[in-house]
């Protein structure tokens, strides 16, 4: 058995892992927001800022991954802690991918910034991105609160974002049919919608992991009693 000093240290390590994961999630949310702002204001400089700071998210991923693996190797946790660490390892990859999608949006925003104005179809994007970012936020909330129900509700919101995507797609096709000179710009908007849709997918993955993490714990408790 671990002595109290080591177990205190172990507990601190787990907590620090959780905090770093949440901070990384916050950074992802900020990047999504900035990428959308860059798109809306056709602001190439802000778009560049997102692209230029993605390395922080990558660094977050490496640091968290290292920490999780080190805890796994040294402490050989079981049960709930093991599930938490496995969840963390999965969540961190999804967060990193979300960061990449934000970069993709920023890159399209940079291309679109030289257009005279955005094709009308972009108007659905801020709301769509907001819905996706809310999914990410709620999934991480569920992670903090170990709340399977909240995680479950995130899964349900995925359809909403898919619906948005379908809408943007339809409108963009109509738009391209009428404005043949703006096909490239309209395609940029469609791509952004696709990236946002993938952010929602990654958030769904995170929520699913949280359900696994929490429900597993429930089963163990029931077995004990």
Partner 1 sequence: MLSRLRARVYFTVAAAAALLVGAAWLILGPISHSLHHDAAQLVSYGVVVGAFAILLGVVVSEALIRSLEAPVRDLQRVVTALAAGDQSARIRNVEDDELGELSRTVDRMATQIGARLDAMSAEEAQLRTILDSMVEAVFVTDPEGRIILTNAALQRLAGARVEGRTAVEAIRSPELHDAVALALRGVESSVQIETRMATESRVLAAHISPLPQGSGVVTVLHDVTDLKLADTVRRDFVANASHELRTPLTAIRGFAETLAGGVQDPVLVSRFVGRILEHSVRMQRLVDDLMQLSRAEAPDETFVVEPIDLSTAVARALRSVEAAAAKKRIKLQTDQAIAGVRVLADERALDHVLINLADNGVKYTPEEGSVTVRLRAAEDGWVYIEVADTGGGIAAPHLSRIFERFYRVDPGRSRDVGGTGLGLAIVKHLTQRMGGEVSVESSLGVGTVFRVKLRVARAES
Nearest to 72 by CA among 20, 143, 13: 13
Q: Which is nearer to partner 1, 18 or 80 (CB)?
A: 18
The tokens describing 110, both together, are 């940079």
Can residue 15 be called a binding residue for partner 1 (CB under 8 A)?
yes
Distance from C-alpha of 175 to C-alpha of 157, rounded to nearest angstrom: 27
Asked if 137 interacts with partner 1 (CB under 8 A), we say yes
Segment contacting partner 1 (CB under 8 A): 63-71, 137-145, 178-186, 216-224?
A: 137-145
Structure tokens at 95: 């967060």
Owner of token pair 């009693």: 225
- Please answer whether residues 31 and 101 qualify as being in contact, where contact means their C-beta atoms are separated by less than 8 angstroms: no
Contact status: 24 vs partner 1 (CB under 8 A): yes
Helix, strand, or coil (residue 68) = helix
124 or 189: CB nearest partner 1: 124
Is 44 a binder of partner 1 (CB under 8 A)?
Answer: no
Distance CA 117, CA 186 (A): 11
Is 29 a binder of partner 1 (CB under 8 A)? Answer: yes
In the complex, minimum distance from the CB of residue 95 to partner 1, in angstroms, rounded to a whole number:
11
Q: How many CB atoms lie within 10 A of CB 177?
A: 10
**Span of 25-33, 84-92, 175-183, 212-220 interacting with partner 1 by CB under 8 A:** 25-33
**Binding residues vs partner 1 (CB under 8 A):** 12, 15, 18-20, 22-27, 29-30, 33, 56, 60, 133-134, 137, 140, 144
């Amino acid at each position: 058995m671990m002595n109290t000093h080591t177990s205190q240290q172990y507990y601190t390590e787990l907590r620090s892992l959780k905090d770093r994961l949440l901070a990384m999630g916050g950074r992802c949310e900020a990047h999504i927001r900035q990428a959308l702002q860059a798109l809306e204001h056709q602001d190439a400089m802000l778009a560049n800022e997102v692209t230029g700071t993605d390395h922080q998210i990558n660094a977050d991923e490496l640091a968290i991954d290292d920490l999780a693996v080190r805890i796994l190797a040294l402490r050989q946790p079981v049960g709930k802690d093991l599930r938490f660490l496995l969840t963390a390892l999965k969540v961190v990859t999804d967060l990193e991918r979300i960061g990449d999608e934000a970069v993709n949006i920023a890159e399209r925003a940079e291309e679109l910034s030289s257009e005279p104005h955005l094709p009308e179809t972009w108007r659905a994007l801020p709301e769509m991105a907001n819905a996706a970012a809310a999914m990410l936020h709620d999934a991480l909330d569920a992670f903090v609160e170990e709340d399977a129900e909240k995680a479950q509700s995130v899964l349900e919101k995925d359809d909403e974002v898919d619906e948005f995507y379908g809408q943007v797609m339809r409108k963009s096709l109509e738009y391209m049919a009428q404005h043949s000179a703006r096909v490239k710009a309209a395609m940029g908007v469609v791509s952004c919608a696709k990236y946002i849709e993938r952010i929602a997918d990654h958030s769904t993955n995170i929520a699913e992991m949280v359900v696994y993490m929490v429900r597993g714990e429930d089963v163990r408790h029931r077995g004990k009693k």
